[in-house]
């Protein structure tokens, strides 16, 4: 067997790259979500924050960042906008004044019921069954873990 598998000329073609397929589908998801989220004045990353808060309300910026894979440089201004739009409140943690707790307002909580509709729309748009989507999702999780493994 070959120790150095051949790299054909078009190994560098865009269409061959897994990374470009990922890049493209990420943008496609964004485009698909946009009209659905525009109705609520939300961006896609803001929607991800709400998804996290609907699972566990009242968490710190740090915890939110760990769950989403974002740092405070991204989250701080994003949360400010979510607060200005009336979806969340931000309060200093009394027991540790370094931390800021993010919690849903009534408006933020109410939006959760709308999210199920969005979920269905997106599910339809993907064109794959719940099982296919789940399998693909798991494969992507594995890939993410591999890529984030320290070299």
Partner DNA sequence: CAAAATTAAATTGTGCGCAAGTTAATTTTG
Partner DNA sequence: CAAAATTAACTTGCGCACAATTTAATTTTG
> Interface with its own copies includes 68 (CB under 8 A)?
yes
- Find, among 142, 123, 118, the residue nearest to 46 by Cα: 118
113: phi > 0 → left, psi -120 to 50 → alpha, else beta; which? Answer: alpha
Indicate the SS3 state at residue 121.
helix
Which residues from 38-97 bind DNA, rule CB under 7 A?
43-46, 60-62, 65, 69-81, 90, 93, 95-97
81 binds, among DNA, its own copies, none (CB under 5 to 8 A by kind): DNA
2 CA to centre of own chain: 40
Among 51, 67, 89, 99, binds DNA (CB under 7 A): 99
Residues 6 or more apart whose CB falls under 8 angstroms from that of 58 comprise 101, 102, 103
Site residues, its own copies (CB under 8 A): 5, 7, 10-29, 31-33, 44, 48, 51-52, 54-55, 67-69, 112, 115-116, 119, 122, 125-128, 130, 133-134, 136-141, 143-144, 146-149, 151
């Amino acid at each position: 067997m070959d120790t150095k598998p051949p790299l054909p000329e078009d190994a560098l073609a865009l269409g061959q790259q897994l990374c470009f397929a990922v890049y493209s589908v990420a943008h496609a998801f964004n485009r698909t979500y946009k009209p659905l989220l525009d109705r609520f004045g939300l961006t896609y990353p803001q929607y991800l924050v709400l998804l996290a808060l609907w699972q566990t309300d009242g968490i710190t910026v740090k915890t939110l960042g760990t769950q989403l894979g974002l740092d405070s440089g991204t989250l701080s201004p994003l949360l400010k906008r979510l607060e200005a739009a009336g979806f969340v409140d931000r309060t200093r943690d009394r027991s540790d004044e370094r931390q800021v707790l993010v919690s849903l307002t009534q408006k933020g909580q109410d939006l959760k019921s709308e999210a199920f509709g969005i979920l269905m729309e997106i599910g339809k748009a993907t064109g794959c069954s719940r099982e296919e989507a789940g399998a693909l999702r798991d494969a992507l999780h594995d890939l993410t873990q591999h890529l984030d493994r320290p070299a």
